[in-house]
Structure 1
Amino acid sequence: MMRRFLTIILFLSFTLSGLLSAQNLSFYFPDEIKQLNPDIPSPREFLGFEVGEQYVSYDQTVSYLRLLAQRSDRIDIIENGYSHERKPLIFLVVSSKKNLERSEFIRKQHLDLCNPVKSLKLSVDTLPIVTWMGYSIHGNEATGVNASIVVAYILAAGEDEFIKRILDNNVILIQPAQNPDGVQRYAAWVNSNKSASENSDANTREFKEPAPSSRSNHYWFDLNRDWLFVQNPESYYRMEVYYNWLPTFVNDFHEHGNTSGTYFSPGIKNSTNHLIPDDNWDISRKIADYHTKTLSKIGTMYYSREGYDDYYTGKGAALPDILGGVGLLYEQPNPRGFVREVDGVKIRFADMIKNQVFCSFSALEASVEMKNELLNYQKRFFIQKQKEAQKDEVKGYLFGSSDDLSLTKELVRILKVHKIDIFRLSKDLSINKKNFKKESAYIIPVNQNNYSVIRTIFEKTTTYKDSSFYDISTWTIPLGLNIQYSELNDLSTLVGEKLVSEIFSESYSVPLTHYAYLFEITDFYAYKFLYYLQSKGVKLKVSDSPFSINRGEKRYGFNTGTVLISVNEQSMGKEELNQILNNYISANKIDVLAVDNGTGDNFDLGSGHFKPVTKPKIALLTGKGAAYSIIGELWHLIDLRFGMPVSLIDIDNLATIDINEYNIIVITNSFRLSKEAADKLSYWANSNTLIGIGTSYKTLNELNISEINISKSITKEESKKDGSFYDYIKRDNSSSINGVILSSILDMSSPLSYGLRAKEIPLFKEGEIIITNSKRGYITPLIYSENPLMSGYLSANYSSQIKGTPAVLAGKGLIYFVDDPYFRAIWLGSSRLFMNAIFFRELLAKEKVLTEK
């Protein structure tokens, strides 16, 4: 009996140790919150713990918010899609019962307010404002998702006049966690490494989540850079809800990694994107006064107007600014666990949740008191943008090519997500040395409601007020896709019918032949077809030179990189082979020619000009030191886009596994290898291929696989050497490369060029790696052009040093990319060089990669 009693006491002591460190829910309540509806379940009643006592997981968040929606007549719930890991994407629509009963009417009226043709007849006096609250787009910034359940509970249960005024004047859209997969991972990490007693030692495991961190989603993307590109399902379904409402006031809740106070917008005024009206900053500053008042009351240190900008429009606090909204960014100090001590300062999880909750309600207070001002701003925005569009010398953009229909489809998909009208080209057109066919080209008139979004997608920029950038300095999407496009100054007679559905390809079947099939790989998704065939056991060859062949009385010309399937060389019969081809072709656009003889004009199909294409077996090296954003992108490219298996191998396991299972290993950064692993990898590279990216050249040199040398660093401008210490700490980034688009020239005889028609390739460069030239041109298939800058901020010093230098090196056992070839999953153009490296690596030069010292 005594033993049982002691056991109970011990159990209670461990349980209470957690409860004693937790805060009562009222700790998170603003002063105005005094009365709560007892019929609405609190977070503790459902979760079994107080907010802040544990990190709430995403599945717990979804379950609790579904319950709130069931119990409260103030909440509707939207579930419109799933994350990569099949977690439901949920949004709450919160308002008064009366407003929710007519929510569809309010939504349509609000959209009318954003339409210059209809808005003149509308008064904002009786319209509720639409306010967006987005939390935890970075999974390891978890105070947001934990705060969201407090905010939702108060809005559902609050009976005070303060809450009723908010609900009467608002339709509030809450996304509790914009990155479900990251939130779930981070909650599991912190909760599983939490101690019963408080431990604020920053070195303990609780605060040291290993890479790749939960900041990112399943494929390790930063989802707060994907609002414009919409390459992930989390972004796609978020934008679906966003455009369905076009919120007026957008709040984006984050955390930062230092001990500075709470940040809130506006940011650096001179670093604001030129498409954002000047009065947006002024309104943000006025809203900030509500936060300064609220945070001052509870003793929270804060700052504004520095540290962050509003330049890159692909972020959650910036894209709304070019859609008539006012976007505010919030950054709390990141606790990384429950209580973390940094430089003598204790950062408490509960305190940071409280800050997020209080900022949420000071924002909602501003939305009520500034409702008419904010709605009139949004109404005025679209009227002004219509005037700008009408005055713009550029009347539209033309894009599209029959060579690569998939890239045209991708740009169309992005434009449709952003509610941009697309029209067919009415007649063939040649402009700026580019040929556009009416069957495959499309026009975007700029005089549309989302004029600013059209501009931010298509425009190139080389002039800037400021040379400091929190993120990148340019992001022209057609250049990333490497799709031909042109500005149009006159749309007369060019605009055809509106594109109302997807671009469809006509299905067909390739006829049976006893001899051979031929196809070119001009389409982006041709690599998916290549691997599909190899996975079915089909043997492939590729031509190293152009050729032509006769079929009946018709002559067909083929480019370098044409794929040959010889029927008699296959292990399956001709009927089965034909069925394999047609199973794919029936659902995918690819032109395959069946031929009944092998006679060609330049050489025959049995010639040695056709080289075998071996099936790739790919590994991406992960572990300490890896560039996880690049690895995640390449994983996404190979696995999700092309349906090819790829193994993620931790560098610490390299010495113990059989790497002969792979014929391609990708290294994205500089690794410190054990001697055993280094020897093993170096020997393996004698008969296989390493693909290196960025600073991996250091490891490659250490393995004696290459001798890649870096151009000497550009020194700071002389004017920066002098001046005060204040001048030093606020100096600009003129000695950095903050994301620019550079022109490069491709050797069209190289296997890396297969399937590509234009030798100019737009590359995205971020970082200061500049490689010295090689004396052997054939190991330099891609170089930066003599006038490399296409768009972005690049100092004259860097421009002169980059021109003519290698962008890719390729030789024995190695293909090296200076920069990320698939930046943020939108640089599909240069990713084709990477995929050519995957499939045609064995056709490259067999000499060691060397550059000048």
Structure 2
Amino acid sequence: MTKKLLIPFLFVLPLPALAAPGLPDELAVDESVPTPFEVLGFEPGERHPRHDQIVTYLRELAESSDRVVLEEIGRSHGGRPQLLLTFASPERLAGIDEIRSGRREAARQGEGPPVIWMGYSVHGNEASGASAALVMAWYLAAGQDERVTRWLDEMVLVMEPAINPDGIDRFAHWVNMHRGNHPSADPDDREHAEGWPDGRTNYYWFDLNRDWLPVVHPVSQNRLRHYHQWRPHVITDHHEMGRNSTFFFQPGIPERANPLIFDANQELTGAIAEFHGRALDAAGEPFYARESFDDFYIGKGSTYPDVTGGIGILFEQGSSRGAVQESDYGLKRFEETVANQVRTSISTLDGALAHADDLVAYQRDFFENLRERAGDWDQAGWLLGDGGDPARAHALIGMLLNHDVLVHPVDETVEIGDQSYAAGSAWAIPADQDAYLLLKSVFEAVTEMDVETFYDVSAWPMAEAHDLPLTTVRRLPSVGDGLTEAPVREPAAVQADALAWIVPWNQYRADALLADLLDAGYRVQVATEPMTARTPDGERAFGRGSLVIHSGIQPDRLDPVGPMLAELSGQHGVDVIAAGQGMAVDGVDLGSPSVPVLEPVSAAVLTGHGVSAYAAGAVWHWFDTRLAQPVAQLDAARLRGGDLEEHTHLIVPPGRYGSFDDSVKSAIVDFVEGGGTLVAFGGAARAAESLDLGWDLVEESEEEEAAGPERKAYGDYRQDYAREMIGGTALRVDLDRTHPLAWGYADDNLVLFRQGAHRLRPVDNAYAQVGVYADDPLAAGYLSATNREELSGTPAISVSRHGSGRVVRIADEPLFRGYWRGGEKLFANALFFSQLVSATRLPYEE
């Protein structure tokens, strides 16, 4: 961006607290730089700005100041611009591109200037951060005091002013439409009680503060591209917490930090914390720093930097939510919450400047020590295979490249045990690289831990999440050049004129191709037994779940199916194989009763109060972005008889279903008994057992002791609860791959993600358990000894018949946070193949 030559007009302005919350009372400023009030018509903290207003102000600020460069680095799911601002002295900004391009090497060599990254309001309803960004942006652009001048002369400041554009807008609209000229401080006032889903989440109701690692969403991908260019030394992450809290800043609970984080990181975090404490003491604001929050899950904005070379710092402000709210600490006013975020933004810059040499040296030492750690663990790196489905492997590689990870294609075939890593379908990831700690975290499953309490999940094994083979090796094979972008698989050309076509179901996005065909009205069959067919390339075996599209049974009103298949094959990256004759070489023929025609599906997902927005959002996101199909969002509180008549499937995410009234439960029962399929996962799978569907469940044993339970210390309750609550763990499931819900999987073993201590009761039917937990169910993360024993051999996936319908119960979350791609086929099978599940009663049981 070309900058205008500006001659500042200096004024010393007395500033009322509301006009610039958190700033000194008197400031020397450049009056040619507009204040937020001059552009927006209100002061920060006076109202909640919409995202478009934030963008409008920052664009005008950048046009008026030679201290800031504004970039639009992408768009959110909702189409809102994602901004990044860079502040420095005009002289430094003139060469900012050169500084940024040299940051990787400068970080390794321990060269400055220090780079401070300030991030605000990743949760849209934690709005004080985004308004504080407006104050800080104006202060950095207009301030003429020595403090600001030194920051800009000696450091580079990068600001992400509104991390969650869609959530910020959703929350601002709610608050502004419910507040009056005299706002209520009653916590139960409608202004403080958002409708479902609230503004915390993004467009698809995901928590973006958990997306730094999986990078499912565009705003996360855009951020990381710039984050790794800048390699910042300090990263701030500004949040809010409950109204009955004060202000928190890290270091947090020391013993609950991820063991991969260097001790020096915690020491520097503590040194900078001294500046926050002094700033808040001076303002008479209470705070705390070593309780509640941890640094364990590396996918959060304050922890991800700790394993990638920076110092991440979490800030949590007790929230006013709206304009003002009662709390245990008195009235919480929005402008006061903004002020604290501003104060700690300033204290971060003061602390970073005071410890500039330490920060630069720490980053140099960080990258040097990575090589020592890799040597201590005696590994050259990892080999990743595609597991017979390149698309899932390409998705994982794309994720790794977002993290600036070096990935090489393998040039020679390597055999390790019974696993083959062949050229063209395998990749090598060296340990000797700057992302080593991150790779160690995502590839080395940990099952024994020193801590038993976690603020977030305890495991994030990415190879298992994508259901891909991965092996740690001491020597890397011959490899090609490092990848700069994820591979894109081009499927083989589809023969446009054939008797029939077969689509192997083990392919990622075969479900999207099926959905498109059914939606267009074509008839699609599915092989319920294995078969071997003749193809142009010779005889080929096809497993259960393979789709058959026979040209002879297609409706006359539709265009020929061959060209449609060719188009969909390229669109979804799915192989479609021509078959020259209907008689199979082995197994079932193409016209066999064992290759029935599938009925179209119409799905709805339960939403609204009581339903987990995260889990419901994962379903919506999967339908909209992976399956490329609509899903009806039905509000649970309004569900009545007849509302489900047009749908074949009702998907019920985890939630609090004990509060649902009888009419909702009755509507679901009528739907199932009338022929519908209920798909309940997570905690909802256990809740489904309470529906009046004539369950034939195995009775639970009852063991009672007259003396009652063993006495325990009250003070141990929280720790005991956390120990037995499965807060985020990867579990092994043994699959019955003959069952329609397990078709398309290459192995009997599948790893799924679990949150919650619920256990499914088995139905009294030996054929109904699609998957059971392995004898040793823990794949990665923390699982108490009690849960290990009690989950072993119990149902993980179960399908039962009720009337004319079916209930699919999945104890885990197959679509967890949008990145557990290994579970997506299970979910698709529940959608498309549950209709094939027949009654399974032996003659003597009838």
Q: Distance in 2 between matches of 1:363 and 1:552?
A: 66
Q: SS at 1:612's partner residue?
A: coil
Q: Distance in 2 between matches of 1:208 and 1:737?
A: 29
Asked if 1 retains the 8 angstrom alpha-carbon contact of 2:530 and 2:588, the reply is: no
By how many angstroms is 1:827 displaced? 1.0
1:805 equivalent to 2:807? Answer no
Q: Distance in 1 between matches of 2:703 and 2:317?
A: 36
Task: Give the structure 1 partner of residue 326 of structure 2.
Answer: 341
Q: SS at 2:738's partner residue?
A: coil
Task: Give the structure 2 partner of residue 755 of structure 1.
Answer: 744
By how many angstroms is 1:680 displaced? 3.3
Task: Give the structure 2 partner of residue 300 of structure 1.
Answer: 285
Deviating more after overlay: 77-86 vs 699-708: 699-708
Cα distance change of structure 1 residues 534 and 790 upon mapping to structure 2, 3 Å threshold: same
By how many angstroms is 1:427 displaced? 1.7
Q: 1:536 aligns with which of 510, 517, 520?
A: 520
Q: Distance in 2 between matches of 1:640 and 1:232?
A: 11
Consecutive unaligned residues in structure 2, runs of 5 or more: 1-15, 842-846
TM-score, structure 1 normalization: 0.92
By how many angstroms is 1:675 displaced? 4.1
Q: 1:422 aligns with which of 389, 402, 407?
A: 407
Q: 1:25 aligns with which of 19, 22, 33?
A: 19
Task: Give the structure 2 partner of residue 227 of structure 1.
Answer: 212
Task: Give the structure 2 partner of residue 690 of structure 1.
Answer: 678
1:76 equivalent to 2:30? Answer no
By how many angstroms is 1:77 displaced? 0.7
Q: 1:589 aligns with which of 573, 587, 600?
A: 573
Asked if 2 retains the 8 angstrom alpha-carbon contact of 1:534 and 1:540, the reply is: yes
Asked if 2 retains the 8 angstrom alpha-carbon contact of 1:432 and 1:486, the reply is: no
Asked if 2 retains the 8 angstrom alpha-carbon contact of 1:181 and 1:217, the reply is: yes
Q: SS at 1:182's partner residue?
A: helix
Task: Give the structure 2 partner of residue 95 of structure 1.
Answer: 88
Task: Give the structure 2 partner of residue 622 of structure 1.
Answer: 607
Q: SS at 1:90's partner residue?
A: strand
Q: Distance in 2 between matches of 1:378 and 1:586?
A: 45
Cα distance change of structure 1 residues 707 and 255 upon mapping to structure 2, 3 Å threshold: farther
Q: SS at 2:753's partner residue?
A: strand
Asked if 1 retains the 8 angstrom alpha-carbon contact of 2:641 and 2:667, the reply is: no
Q: 1:140 aligns with which of 121, 125, 128?
A: 125
Q: Distance in 2 between matches of 1:769 and 1:550?
A: 48
Q: Distance in 1 between matches of 2:255 and 2:197?
A: 34
Cα distance change of structure 1 residues 375 and 552 upon mapping to structure 2, 3 Å threshold: closer
Q: SS at 2:596's partner residue?
A: strand
Asked if 1 retains the 8 angstrom alpha-carbon contact of 2:741 and 2:830, the reply is: yes
Q: 1:469 corresponds to which letter in structure 2?
A: F
1:43 equivalent to 2:26? Answer no
Q: Distance in 1 between matches of 2:58 and 2:600?
A: 48
Q: Distance in 1 between matches of 2:222 and 2:711?
A: 49
Deviation track 1:407-465 (CA, whole Å, cap 9, x = no partner) reads 01101101111111111112222214222221111010111111112112211012222
Task: Give the structure 2 partner of residue 825 of structure 1.
Answer: 818
Asked if 1 retains the 8 angstrom alpha-carbon contact of 2:752 and 2:814, the reply is: yes
1:703 equivalent to 2:687? Answer no
1:744 equivalent to 2:733? Answer yes
Q: SS at 2:341's partner residue?
A: helix
By how many angstroms is 1:484 displaced? 1.3
Cα distance change of structure 1 residues 361 and 701 upon mapping to structure 2, 3 Å threshold: same
Task: Give the structure 2 partner of residue 460 of structure 1.
Answer: 445
1:53 equivalent to 2:52? Answer no
Overall identity of the aligned pairs, in %: 31
Cα distance change of structure 1 residues 727 and 580 upon mapping to structure 2, 3 Å threshold: closer
Superposition map of 1:157-196 within 5 A: 157-196=142-181
Asked if 1 retains the 8 angstrom alpha-carbon contact of 2:117 and 2:158, the reply is: yes
Q: 1:406 aligns with which of 369, 391, 416?
A: 391
Q: 1:751 corresponds to which letter in structure 2?
A: P
1:254 equivalent to 2:239? Answer yes
Deviation track 1:445-504 (CA, whole Å, cap 9, x = no partner) reads 11111111211221101222221111111101111111111111222x443443344313
Cα distance change of structure 1 residues 545 and 481 upon mapping to structure 2, 3 Å threshold: same
By how many angstroms is 1:674 displaced? 4.3
Q: 1:667 corresponds to which letter in structure 2?
A: V
Q: SS at 1:605's partner residue?
A: coil
By how many angstroms is 1:676 displaced? 4.2
TM-score, structure 2 normalization: 0.93
1:604 equivalent to 2:592? Answer no
Task: Give the structure 2 partner of residue 361 of structure 1.
Answer: 346
Q: SS at 1:580's partner residue?
A: helix
Asked if 2 retains the 8 angstrom alpha-carbon contact of 1:266 and 1:281, the reply is: yes
Asked if 2 retains the 8 angstrom alpha-carbon contact of 1:23 and 1:52, the reply is: no
Asked if 2 retains the 8 angstrom alpha-carbon contact of 1:705 and 1:814, the reply is: no
Q: SS at 1:337's partner residue?
A: coil
Q: 1:563 aligns with which of 541, 547, 561?
A: 547
Asked if 2 retains the 8 angstrom alpha-carbon contact of 1:185 and 1:214, the reply is: yes
Aligned residues: 814
Q: Distance in 2 between matches of 1:699 and 1:772?
A: 11
Q: Distance in 2 between matches of 1:348 and 1:161?
A: 30
Task: Give the structure 2 partner of residue 516 of structure 1.
Answer: 500
By how many angstroms is 1:105 displaced? 2.6
Q: Distance in 1 between matches of 2:710 and 2:100?
A: 53
Asked if 2 retains the 8 angstrom alpha-carbon contact of 1:482 and 1:762, the reply is: yes
Q: SS at 1:112's partner residue?
A: helix
Cα distance change of structure 1 residues 214 and 846 upon mapping to structure 2, 3 Å threshold: farther
By how many angstroms is 1:693 displaced? 1.8
By how many angstroms is 1:656 displaced? 6.6
1:839 equivalent to 2:832? Answer yes
Task: Give the structure 2 partner of residue 106 of structure 1.
Answer: 99
Q: Distance in 2 between matches of 1:765 and 1:206?
A: 34
Asked if 2 retains the 8 angstrom alpha-carbon contact of 1:23 and 1:53, the reply is: no
Q: Distance in 1 between matches of 2:721 and 2:750?
A: 29
Q: Distance in 2 between matches of 1:580 and 1:733?
A: 53
Asked if 2 retains the 8 angstrom alpha-carbon contact of 1:513 and 1:596, the reply is: no
Cα distance change of structure 1 residues 166 and 705 upon mapping to structure 2, 3 Å threshold: farther
1:498 equivalent to 2:486? Answer no
By how many angstroms is 1:399 displaced? 1.1
Cα distance change of structure 1 residues 237 and 452 upon mapping to structure 2, 3 Å threshold: same
Task: Give the structure 1 partner of residue 724 of structure 2.
Answer: 735
By how many angstroms is 1:817 displaced? 1.0
Asked if 2 retains the 8 angstrom alpha-carbon contact of 1:598 and 1:604, the reply is: yes
Asked if 1 retains the 8 angstrom alpha-carbon contact of 2:120 and 2:237, the reply is: yes
Deviation track 1:499-545 (CA, whole Å, cap 9, x = no partner) reads 34431323543224452111211111111111111122210111111
1:203 equivalent to 2:188? Answer yes
Q: Distance in 2 between matches of 1:162 and 1:263?
A: 25
Q: Distance in 1 between matches of 2:799 and 2:784?
A: 29
Q: SS at 2:361's partner residue?
A: helix
Q: SS at 1:342's partner residue?
A: coil
Asked if 2 retains the 8 angstrom alpha-carbon contact of 1:739 and 1:765, the reply is: yes
Q: 1:660 aligns with which of 622, 642, 645?
A: 645
Asked if 1 retains the 8 angstrom alpha-carbon contact of 2:248 and 2:287, the reply is: yes
Q: 2:566 corresponds to which letter in structure 1?
A: N
Q: Distance in 2 between matches of 1:580 and 1:682?
A: 39
Asked if 1 retains the 8 angstrom alpha-carbon contact of 2:49 and 2:131, the reply is: yes
By how many angstroms is 1:712 displaced? 8.3
Q: 2:669 corresponds to which letter in structure 1?
A: S
Q: SS at 2:297's partner residue?
A: coil
Asked if 1 retains the 8 angstrom alpha-carbon contact of 2:696 and 2:763, the reply is: no
Asked if 2 retains the 8 angstrom alpha-carbon contact of 1:710 and 1:769, the reply is: no
Asked if 2 retains the 8 angstrom alpha-carbon contact of 1:513 and 1:574, the reply is: no
Asked if 2 retains the 8 angstrom alpha-carbon contact of 1:567 and 1:574, the reply is: no
Asked if 2 retains the 8 angstrom alpha-carbon contact of 1:513 and 1:595, the reply is: no
Q: Distance in 2 between matches of 1:553 and 1:252?
A: 56
Cα distance change of structure 1 residues 196 and 575 upon mapping to structure 2, 3 Å threshold: closer
Asked if 2 retains the 8 angstrom alpha-carbon contact of 1:720 and 1:731, the reply is: no
Asked if 2 retains the 8 angstrom alpha-carbon contact of 1:134 and 1:175, the reply is: yes
Q: 2:835 corresponds to which letter in structure 1?
A: E
Q: SS at 1:51's partner residue?
A: coil
Q: SS at 1:777's partner residue?
A: coil
